[in-house]
């Protein structure tokens, strides 16, 4: 049954333990490599990855992508047309709209989120895509403190991008020292998390630090003790509209 709840199927890894592999989307020069975080079940294409852009790399020409692409810059510098991104920047470029030449002077590492199998075709001219979203400083995006069922969640949320049709979104979340979650829960969509700073534990057996990645699959019960010792900043993204649902069944079982 597609929507059957499953217990403890989350995946939590230190991304530094993942192997590097060539990342060679059709239509772009070679030289990029990636640590793949998640692949789509439908066609095994990359959904999310840590992508390394070497110093001096360039796409050489403007291009149009066949899939949406989002990226959060972890370090280094990246130029797309006239836009320049450094650590802490975020961008979203939609499929089918041209973008300028992509290049890096000093090299960069990015958290990349793709909307499907990626390939690029030449574009006659670059420029900023009409539907693009660019935040040169993601922390400058207006923040709010969300509530669930009238209760504060203990987090500060910045929505970096949201799809008005599917409800998919990407968020920058901050939790304070001593944060405690509300207990076991599940979501009807895939939830992916990358720890940028601090510490956050999805349960008592794991404590995420900078560079750790967590995937909570759709309808997977998780979060039996979400907590943070010193506070954390995380990047979180969902493939459709997210919702929070508490789980009151037996620990270790399914419903």
Q: Is the pLDDT of residue 253 over 80?
A: no
**How high does pLDDT run on average in the chain?**
93
Supply the pLDDT for residue 131. Answer: 87
pLDDT digits (tens, 9 = 90+) for 21-48: 999 999 999 999 999 999 998 899 999 9
Q: Which of 116, 124, 146 is nearest to 38 (CA)?
A: 116
Alpha carbons 208 and 228: distance in angstroms, whole number: 9
- 131 CB contacts (<8 Å, ≥6 apart)? 94, 97
By three-state DSSP, how is residue 250 classified? coil
Tell me what the mean pLDDT of segment 127-152 comes to: 85
Supply the pLDDT for residue 115. Answer: 95
Instruction: For each of the domains in the chain, give its residue range(s) and CATH number, in order of start.
Output: 6-12+140-246 (2.60.120.10), 19-138 (2.60.120.10)
By three-state DSSP, how is residue 118 classified? coil
- The burial class, CB within 10 Å (0-12 / 13-18 / 19+), for 253 is exposed
Supply the pLDDT for residue 251. Answer: 60
Supply the pLDDT for residue 254. Answer: 43
pLDDT digits (tens, 9 = 90+) for 50-69: 999 999 999 999 999 999 99
Query: CA angle, corner 60, sides to 93 and 81, nearest 5?
Result: 40
Per the listing, tokens 């901050």 go with: 174
Tokens matching residue 23? 């990342």
CB-CB contact of 231 with 198 (8 Å):
yes
Under the banding of pLDDT at 50, 70 and 90, the label for residue 11 is very high
């Amino acid at each position: 049954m597609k929507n059957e709840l499953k217990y403890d199927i989350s995946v939590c890894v230190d991304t530094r333990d993942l192997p590097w592999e060539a990342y060679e989307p059709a239509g772009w020069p070679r030289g990029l490599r990636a640590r793949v975080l998640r692949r789509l079940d439908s066609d095994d294409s990359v959904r999310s990855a840590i992508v390394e852009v070497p110093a001096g790399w360039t796409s050489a020409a403007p291009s149009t992508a066949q899939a949406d692409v989002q990226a959060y810059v972890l370090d280094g510098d990246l130029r797309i047309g006239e836009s320049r991104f450094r650590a802490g920047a975020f961008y979203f470029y939609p499929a089918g709209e041209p973008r300028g030449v992509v290049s890096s002077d000093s090299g960069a590492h990015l958290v990349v989120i793709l909307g499907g199998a990626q390939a690029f075709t030449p574009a006659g001219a670059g420029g900023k895509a009409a539907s693009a979203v660019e935040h040169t400083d993601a922390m400058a995006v207006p923040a709010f403190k969300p509530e669930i069922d009238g209760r504060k969640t203990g987090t500060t949320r910045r929505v970096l991008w949201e799809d008005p049709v599917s409800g998919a979104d990407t968020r920058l979340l901050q939790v304070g020292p001593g944060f405690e979650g509300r207990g076991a829960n599940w979501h009807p969509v895939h939830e992916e998390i990358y720890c940028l700073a601090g510490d956050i534990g999805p349960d008592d057996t794991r404590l995420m630090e900078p560079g750790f990645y967590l995937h909570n699959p759709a309808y997977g019960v998780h979060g039996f003790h979400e907590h943070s010792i010193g506070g954390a900043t995380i990047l979180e993204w969902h493939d459709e509209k997210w919702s929070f649902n508490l789980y009151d069944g037996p620990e270790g079982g399914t419903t």
